[in-house]
Chains A and B, each alone.
Chain A
Amino acid sequence: MKARLKFSKTGTMRFIGHLDLMRYFQKAFRRADIAISYSQGYSPHQLMSFASPLGIGLSSDAEYMDLVLEDTEQVSDFITRINVVMNDEITVTDFILLREEARSSMSVLAGCDYCIAVKPGKDSFLCEPARRKEMLEQFLGRESVLVLKKTKRSERMEDIRENIYCLTDSPEAFAAFTGRDCRTLSLEKGGYLPVLYCQLTAGSIVNIKPEQVLKALCEQEKETYDPFAYQIHRMEMYADIHAKKGEIHTLASEIPCSLAALSEFERIDSFQ
């Protein structure tokens, strides 16, 4: 039985890396006595995969993990059973059964929403609303936004302008764009000052990091980029509902109308 989990990762759990998070869930499932199917072969492992690894330091209200359950008896009370054995800074918020033909969240991932906030005790040029308005207007009016892309072999400039589907400092405007409520951020509690909201291309073909957008903004404003000043918080992940196998839309002109949150994509609403 294919299933998908949505969970949050906040607070001190920001310092747990991706591989450790995988081991964490493997043990949590065992503690909860939830039987996950194992792969075949000499070193069997639990069949689970994440939509997109979250970097150390980032927080999130919308991480996704796909898994295969041994049997359907695991389904009832899943969220309660798993949360009881977990740390309170990693919390499963949704459990979705998927159609048998559903593709992995990793392969259908097309976009992510992020909130960028200034950390308590830090200062940033983004804190002034008037200046923020002005720089965003200029930024969004640009034909191209070139960023340096480093790979193992080469360094080249890449234009990410068309991969920024939305960038605003207004939660209302962002909510109107995405059709989602963005005020329930778990980071709002800790004295963080949200300054930017953005929706960016994500996935295996093109993956834009919010840090790249921040750096580009700094460059435009001739400010130095202080990576410690910002808390980046993932708010949602989306699949491209029109995507065929291997082709995911990555440009602003094609995308916004065809995104569905991973929790709503290829799900089975009722289970017999």
Chain B
Amino acid sequence: MRKLALSDDILLSIEKPARYIGGEINMIKKDPSMVDIRFCMCFPDVYEIGMSHLGIQILYDMLNLREDLYCERVYSPWIDLDKIMREEKIPLFALESQDPVKEFDFLGITLQYEMCYTNILQILDLAQIPLKAEERTTEDPFVIGGGPCAYNPEPIADFFDLFYIGEGETVYDDLMDAYKSWKCQKTGRQEFLKMAAQIPGIYVPQFYQPEYHEDGTLADFYKLIPEAPDTIIKQVERDMSHTFYPEKPLVPYIKVTQDRVVLEIQRGCIRGCRFCQAGMLYRPIRPRALEFLKQRAKSMLESTGHDEISLSSLSSSDYRELPDLVYWLIDEFHHKGVNISLPSLRIDAFALDVMSKVQDIRKSSLTFAPEAGSQRMRNVINKGLTEEMILKGAKDAFIGGWNRVKLYFMLGLPGETDADIEQIAVLSDKIAREYYEIPREQRNGKVNIVTSTSIFVPKPFTPFQWAPMISKESAEKKRFFLLDQVKKQLNAKSIKYNCHDADVSELEGVFARGDRRLCNVILEAYQNGCFYDAWSEYFQYDKWVQAFAVHGLDIDFYIKRERGEDEKFPWDFIDIGVSKQFLLNEYHQSMKETVTPNCREKCAGCGAAKFGCGVCVEDRSQ
């Protein structure tokens, strides 16, 4: 039998023991004693969530191509096992070898959302690794963070030795080579960090010092050693068709959130929605070649046996060869029972044709993300979707037999008025009206509209990084106002309104644009029992409020004020290509309700062109 870190007694006392046994199909097996570097990749949430993440899968495959390295995985133990591991002092272990994570050379943690920050501390704590980087010794692994939240690493800077700013495909090899040469030198921990700090894209927080004005804003941020760079430049994979992409993804035993093949068709987005962080971080858009995608789709479906493939990107409709790819997938695989899912697809004739071929119309629903109810507000956020497009798409779909629609909106966007919110209800109703316009005999029962709102959270590196976020109280008011408006509509009975928790959004807002002083707040909250904050049933708002109070920090300071145009931001030392000046211009444009054309219509000069790839070097005449 394969070695397991947990005894039968424990595995039989907890929920879903298969979360902890590893051994999944396509798992990489190596002899740990035969490698120079042991790397443990971590997604700080429960197995089913973490296993659904494409980024880790890419890095896992890429790192394991090195013969001198064994990359393994770990996820957050669920509450039940967490308790047992603490009681019995069982060190956190990697799934592949079942060896303790503390014996590894690296622990890489992917940072996908702010509400996982306490789970990072749980991971370190259970792994028996000192929580703060400064307390670690040569016996401990180097803890490295990456992913979207690494673009403002400051609120968790104390817990990490390094951050990798940018896309993982580029400098991991250099970092690993540096590590090997450091290991031979047998010098101190600092020496390796110094070497790492000189690799492009690597940020070593302990080599930098923030200072604050009396009002709490950042006064200065400077490096402490000459080897550290002043700015960290985002790493970009320039050629998406000649790079690492798994051919044999892991196949978990238990059902995970993404129980399917995920094919990333392109990275980046041309749209420039002003609230969207991913849309700015991953500029410029870089499509993968059609042949590359076909080859990977085939090998991944064959090696996993999955019965579904999902095409992943921020806006699939902007992939120019999408019809070629999708019809090829249908021809090759649909008769073998493979379903094709296309999230983030604009509903048009093509989308409806594809959906009618691969999905059960009676069960599937249409999804629109207008994000704002009024056209005025959609101009503010630069969301190019018009009411006409939505109604046309919905009408065509209704005629095609669909009768379920999901709508996504945000509340609390900059400059939002009651009239804008009312339009969310009105638009929902107009869609329902479209349905009842078609002759009764062509309808498929009643129409079912689900309207959801989330609270707008301003994020770093977006044009709204200066904007204030609405308070919890105001969010509450807006929700009730919208609920009332929905009730007033003619088709109120066909519209169901859902909303996102305002407490969680508030903290998300704090951490998104927070500074290094928040490290102690996060540590305090964790020590008082907060973790799994992203899970509403475990989120303890009161303990968070208390933690802020203990450290004399004010939630409102981070979220409620509009930030000054000359204010220094904690994340300013990172260069994502898109310039701060461009973002500020966009902020001004938003206030004028002016739309900026997308990257393919007209270059807006955001700054990402300096990477010399993707849409920035595309021939725009086609």
Please name the residue on chain A nearest to B362 by beta carbon.
A42
Are B1 and A11 closer than 8 Å at their CB atoms? yes
Which of B213-221, B251-259, B280-288, B414-422 lies at the interface?
B251-259
Contact A31 B255 (CB under 8 A): no
**In the complex, A26→B304 CA distance in Å?**
11
Chain B: minimal CB distance from A8 (Å)? 12
Task: Give the CA-CA distance A53 to B301 in the complex, in Å.
Answer: 28
Q: How far is the CB of B475 from chain A (nearest CB, A)?
A: 39
Within 8 A of B (CB), among A24-41: 24, 26-31, 33, 38
Is A31 within 8 A of B304, CB to CB?
yes
**Are A10 and B18 within 8 A (Cβ)?**
no
With beta carbons under 8 angstroms apart, the residue of A24, A31, A85, A228 that contacts B12 is A228
**B2, CB-defined interface residue at 8 Å:** yes
**Inter-chain contact A15/B18, CB cutoff 8 Å:** yes
Please name the residue on chain B nearest to A43 by beta carbon: B360
A6-57 with Cβ < 8 A to chain B: 10-12, 15-17, 20, 23-24, 26-31, 33, 38, 42-44, 56-57
Inside 8 A of A23's CB, which chain B residues have their CB? 255
Q: How far is the CA of A12 from the CA of B3 in the complex (A)?
A: 8
Cβ contact of A16, chosen from B9, B12, B253, cutoff 8 A: B253
Chain B residues 287-315 with CB under 8 Å of chain A are 301-307
B17 CB contact (under 8 Å) in A15, A24, A87, A227: A15
Q: Give the complex CA separation of A26 and B302 in angstroms.
A: 13
A44 to B336, CA, bound (A): 11
Contact B25 A87 (CB under 8 A): yes
A264 interfacial by beta-carbon distance below 8 Å: no
**B8 within 8 Å of A (CB atoms):** yes
Task: Give the interface centre of B22, B254, B302 by most chain A CB atoms within 10 Å.
Answer: B254
Given contacts A23-B255, A57-B8, contact A31 B303 (CB under 8 A): yes
With a cutoff of 8 Å between Cβ atoms, the chain B residues found around residue A31 in the complex are 25, 302-305
Main DSSP-derived SS at the B contact region: loop
Interchain CA distance A138-B11 in the complex, whole Å: 35
Distance in Å: Cβ of B450 to nearest Cβ of chain A: 22
In the complex, what's the smallest C-beta–C-beta distance from A81 to chain B, in angstroms?
Answer: 13
Is B354 in the interface zone, CB < 8 Å from A?
no
Residue of A nearest to B23 (CB): A12
Chain B residue numbers with a CB within 8 Å of A24 are 253
Complex contacts, A119 vs chain B, CB 8 Å: 8
User: Given the interface contacts A15-B11, A119-B8, does A27 sit within 8 Å of B337 by beta carbon?
Assistant: no
User: Are A44 and B21 CB-contacts (below 8 A) given A30-B305, A57-B8?
Assistant: no
The complex places the Cα of A85 from the Cα of B22 at a distance, in Å, of 17
Q: Are B306 and A27 in touch, CB under 8 angstroms?
A: yes
Interface positions, chain A 157-173, Cβ under 8 Å from B, are none
Inter-subunit contact A27/B21 (CB<8 Å): no
Q: Is A89 an interface residue (CB 8 A)?
A: yes
Instruction: Name the residue in A11, A26, A28, A30 with the highest tally of chain B Cβ atoms < 10 Å from its Cβ.
Output: A30
Cα–Cα, bound, A56→B304 (Å): 24
B31 to chain A, nearest CB (A): 17
If A15-B21, A89-B1, A228-B8 are given as contacts, then 20 extra A-B residue pairs at C-beta distance below 8 Å, sorted by A number, are: A15-B11, A15-B18, A16-B18, A16-B253, A17-B18, A17-B254, A20-B253, A27-B251, A27-B305, A27-B306, A30-B301, A30-B336, A31-B302, A31-B303, A31-B304, A56-B17, A57-B8, A85-B25, A87-B25, A190-B1
Cβ contacts A to B, 19 pairs, < 8 Å: A10-B1, A12-B4, A16-B18, A16-B253, A17-B18, A26-B305, A30-B305, A30-B307, A30-B336, A31-B25, A31-B303, A38-B337, A43-B360, A57-B12, A85-B25, A87-B23, A89-B23, A228-B9, A228-B12
